């Protein structure tokens, strides 16, 4: 799924899932298992999502990555559900295997949630990120490799494509830096799906798993999140288009 917000006191668990599933969409496949830095593969994709909390709640998400010329890309996501609607976008440059975020925008709205917006502008020449979060302005010094809530997702996809199995990212979100960690933990099932996990503290009750199909160019085929109360959230690919 919209940016992958970390479910904390500021984000209800059910919203955390919708943001999480959006984050997972970025892991759409490259056309080959290349080891050298290559530009991302343009795509359009649709996903369905299901919340099992004693009551079935379904939604859908659409994501696209399109080149804009001169090394600039546009990354967009839309989510529509009974719980919330999310519109999210990122303008970025692709530089020698790295996502360089330039302009990030996010908006959450819905009948059951409070509207929320976030904006981040990256001035790499000045070494500063400025933005707005929940109506408050912020300014941060840019760390080397700093990313936004969408950009790190695309970087993760490219790193897995390049053969990395442990990934750690510095992400500007909510007016401060967060660290996101992922690991590929092995193969699963007769189809030899590649299984990855979002790494949390050892005592964390929440678990998030993602499955990718090497026979379909590492397409994300499933996402599962299990909450501390046993609730399950599942994401399933319904349609994808690769290439220009």
Dump the DSSP string for the chain. Answer: -------STTS-HHHHHHHHHHHHHT-PPPSS--SS--PPPPEEEEEEEEEESSSEEEEEEEEEEEEEETTEEEEEEEEEESS-EEEEEEEEEEETTEEEEEEEEEEEE-TTS--EEEEEEEETTTTEEEEEETTEEEEEEPPTT-B-TTHHHHHHHHHHHTT--EEEEEEEETTEEEEEEEEEEEEETTTTEEEEEE---TT---EEEEEEEGGGTTEEEEEEEE-TTS-EEEEEEEEEEE--
Give the model's pLDDT for residue 189: 73
Give the model's pLDDT for residue 67: 94
Q: Does the residue 98 lie in any domain?
A: yes
pLDDT at 135 over 50: yes
Give the model's pLDDT for residue 95: 92
Paired strand residues for 66: 74
Q: Does the residue 176 lie in any domain?
A: yes
Q: Judging by beta carbons within 10 Å of its beta carbon (0-12, 13-18, 19+), is residue 212 exposed, middle or buried?
A: buried
Give the model's pLDDT for residue 5: 40
Domain of 212 in residue numbering reads as 13-242
Burial 47-72 (b: 16+ CB within 10 A, else e): bebebeeeeeeebebbbbbeeeeeee
Q: Does the residue 55 lie in any domain?
A: yes
Least confident of 44-48, 146-150, 181-185, 219-223: 219-223
Q: Does the residue 2 lie in any domain?
A: no
Higher pLDDT, 118 or 190: 118
Give the model's pLDDT for residue 227: 86
Considering the entire predicted model, what is its pTM? 0.78
Q: Does the residue 49 lie in any domain?
A: yes
Least confident of 42-46, 89-93, 215-219: 215-219
In the block, tokens 């109360």 appear at 229
Q: Does the residue 1 lie in any domain?
A: no
Q: Does the residue 104 lie in any domain?
A: yes
> What is the number of domains present in the chain?
1
Give the model's pLDDT for residue 106: 96
Closest C-alpha among 65, 147, 35 to residue 99: 147
Q: Does the residue 112 lie in any domain?
A: yes
């Amino acid at each position: 799924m919209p940016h992958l917000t970390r479910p904390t006191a500021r984000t209800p668990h059910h919203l955390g899932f919708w943001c999480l599933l959006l984050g997972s969409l970025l892991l759409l496949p490259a056309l080959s298992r290349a080891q050298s830095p290559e530009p991302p593969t343009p795509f359009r994709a649709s996903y369905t999502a299901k919340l099992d909390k004693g009551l079935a709640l379904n939604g859908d998400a659409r994501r696209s990555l399109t080149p804009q010329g001169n090394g600039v890309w546009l990354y967009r996501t839309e989510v529509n559900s009974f719980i919330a609607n999310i519109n999210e976008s990122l303008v970025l440059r692709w530089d020698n295997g790295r996502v360089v975020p330039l302009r990030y925008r996010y908006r959450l709205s819905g009948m059951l949630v409070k509207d929320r917006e976030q904006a981040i502008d990256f001035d790499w020449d000045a070494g500063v990120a400025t933005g707005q979060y929940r109506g408050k302005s912020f300014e941060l010094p840019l760390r080397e490799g700093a990313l936004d809530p969408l950009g790190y997702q695309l970087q993760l996809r490219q790193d897995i494509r390049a053969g990395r199995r442990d990934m750690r990212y510095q992400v500007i979100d909510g007016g401060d830096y967060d660290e996101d960690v992922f690991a590929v933990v092995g193969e699963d099932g007769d189809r030899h799906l590649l299984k990855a996990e979002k790494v949390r503290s050892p005592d964390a009750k929440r678990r998030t798993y993602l499955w990718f199909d090497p026979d379909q160019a590492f397409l994300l085929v499933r996402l599962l999140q299990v909450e501390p109360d046993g609730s399950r959230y599942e994401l399933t690919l319904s349609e994808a288009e690769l290439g220009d």
